[in-house]
Amino acid sequence: MALKDYGFCGHGESGDFVAAGSIRSDGKLPINTAGGLLSEAYVHGLNLLTEGVRQLRSESTTQIAGASTCLVTGGLGVSPTSGVILGRH
């Protein structure tokens, strides 16, 4: 649902978007390049922000070539409760 709500694909297209490999590290919209919230402890979302900054500085251990813009969302459960767009200029 978030893929549609953020405008990355249309209504009913998210399954095909994901199946086509679009969210893989080599896809057109790489997501969770540091693993998402797995083993996140009690700093929910902070490590996601840190990963976004690392991607834009070309310092990530899972670097996406040419990363220039990053959307970071976080929150408990399935609904994000916060979001920030980072950019490198």
Chain-wide mean pLDDT for the chain?
Answer: 86
Q: How many helices (H) and strands (E) does the chain have?
A: 3, 2
The range of the structural domain enclosing residue 74 comes to 2-87
| pTM for this model (two decimals) | 0.74
How many structural domains are present in the chain?
1
Q: Please, which residues have CB within 8 angstroms of residue 77's CB and are 6 or more apart in sequence?
A: none
Please compute the mean of the pLDDT values over residues 35-60 and round it to a whole number: 82
Rg (CA), the chain: 13
- Burial-class residue 31 by CB neighbours within 10 Å (0-12, 13-18, 19+): middle
The DSSP secondary-structure symbol of 12 reads: T
Whole-number pLDDT of residue 58: 96
